[in-house]
Amino acid sequence: MEVDGKRVDRVWGAPFRQALADYHAVLPRLGRRVLQEDGLGVLWEARKGRQKALFNFQPRRLALPGRVLDVTAGEVLPPGKVYRLKACHTYTFAG
């Protein structure tokens, strides 16, 4: 894909490349989209099973069930009732 004759990853830079990498990492979980009422993220549920992916847009605190992986940072978050989510990060969990 190009913009003004240039590849989009070169025009939009590192944030675009990271978002695209996150998207490909969670693609198997993208079965059904659930828009968040607050507009702070988009939740995707896998077609089968309980796996979910959350594209988070703004920093916030949120309760998530099960093992939570920050896909963007590549790290499993320590277990907790409420997680401090970062802006422009993608998370996976089961619930």
Amino acid at 62: L
Distance CA 61, CA 13 (A): 28
Q: Tell me, what's the pLDDT at 1?
A: 62
CB atoms within 10 A of CB 69: 18
Give the tens place of pLDDT for each residue, 27-83: 988 999 988 889 999 999 998 888 999 999 999 999 999 999 999 999 999 999 999
Where do the domains of the chain lie? 2-94
Is the CA virtual torsion 50, 22, 36, 77 positive or negative?
positive
Q: Tell me, what's the pLDDT at 16?
A: 83
Amino acid at 92: T
Q: Tell me, what's the pLDDT at 55?
A: 96
Q: Does residue 9 register a pLDDT over 90? A: no
Q: Tell me, what's the pLDDT at 88?
A: 95
Domain 2-94 indexed as CATH 1.20.1070: no
